[in-house]
């Protein structure tokens, strides 16, 4: 039980300034490109941008000597708080300005309702693979490729982030989807990420060498 509560990395993946910054940039790029790109092409660009922000600006990645001033600053506590707050405000303004606009790029999937099975399956899968990539200290570019691999679903499901999903609901962006349904889905996202993190820890534990009889 102590390990369950001590694992703060799952919470960091939900309340993470790099996630909010990446989502804001991704949705803005998708919106701008909607007039000359197909929705899937725009989603690919947006997901690539989101993955880049998450894996190159995340405070979960330890600062390196070759980090520039911005990367080092955003990984600091004060930078994380400021960038996260500004990005959340920007996301809320964007979603609020698009609420009720059925011609918006993202409105059509939401008008049909979010599917629990899609949200929870991909939330678990992405969290598990992400945890393994970080735990094995694999090249961060693999994290970007991970988000590129789910570009066709991630933007329309809030990049599997409960905080961003709740922002969509509060701003009225989700249309007919009730607030408590979005709240329940956000809670389930968090629980699936905890489960994925615990399973990832189990995968990463080195097997104990058996003693000779």
Residue 133 sits in a domain whose CATH number is: 1.20.1080
- Does 40 reside within a domain? yes
Angle at which helix 116-135 crosses helix 179-204, to 10 degrees, equals 30
- Write down the residue that tokens 């099975």 correspond to: 117
Distances (CA, A) of 108 to 81, 119, 173: 33, 17, 11
- Does 35 reside within a domain? yes
- Does 68 reside within a domain? yes
Question: What backbone phi and psi angles, to 5 degrees, belong to 13?
Answer: -70, -20
Q: How far apart are CA 49 and CA 51, in angstroms?
A: 6
- Does 208 reside within a domain? no
- Does 209 reside within a domain? no
- Does 66 reside within a domain? yes
Structural domain containing residue 127: 2-202
Residues of the chain with pLDDT under 70: 1-15, 58-72, 74-75, 100-113, 175-178, 206-213
Per-residue model confidence (pLDDT) at position 88: 92
- Predicted TM-score (pTM) of the model is 0.80
Task: Please state the domain count of the chain.
Answer: 1
């Amino acid at each position: 039980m102590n390990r369950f509560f001590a694992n703060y990395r799952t919470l960091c993946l939900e309340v993470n300034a790099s996630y909010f910054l990446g989502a804001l940039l991704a949705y803005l790029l998708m919106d701008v490109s909607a007039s000359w790109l197909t929705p899937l092409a725009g989603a690919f660009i947006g997901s690539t941008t989101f993955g880049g922000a998450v894996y190159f600006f995340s405070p979960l990645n330890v600062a390196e000597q070759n980090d520039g001033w911005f990367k080092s600053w955003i990984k600091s506590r004060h930078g994380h708080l400021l960038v996260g707050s500004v990005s959340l405000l920007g996301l809320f303004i964007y979603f609020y300005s698009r609420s009720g606009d059925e011609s918006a790029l993202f409105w059509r999937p939401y008008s049909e309702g979010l599917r629990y099975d899609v949200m929870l399956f991909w939330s678990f899968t992405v969290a598990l693979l992400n945890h393994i990539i970080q735990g094995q200290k694999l090249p961060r570019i693999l994290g970007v490729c991970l988000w590129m691999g789910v570009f066709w679903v991630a933007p329309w499901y809030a990049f599997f982030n409960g905080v961003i999903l709740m922002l969509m609901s509060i701003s009225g962006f989700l249309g007919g989807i009730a607030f408590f349904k979005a709240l329940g889905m956000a809670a389930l996202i968090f629980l699936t990420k905890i489960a994925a993190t615990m399973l990832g820890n189990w995968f990463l534990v080195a097997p104990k060498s058996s003693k000779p009889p």
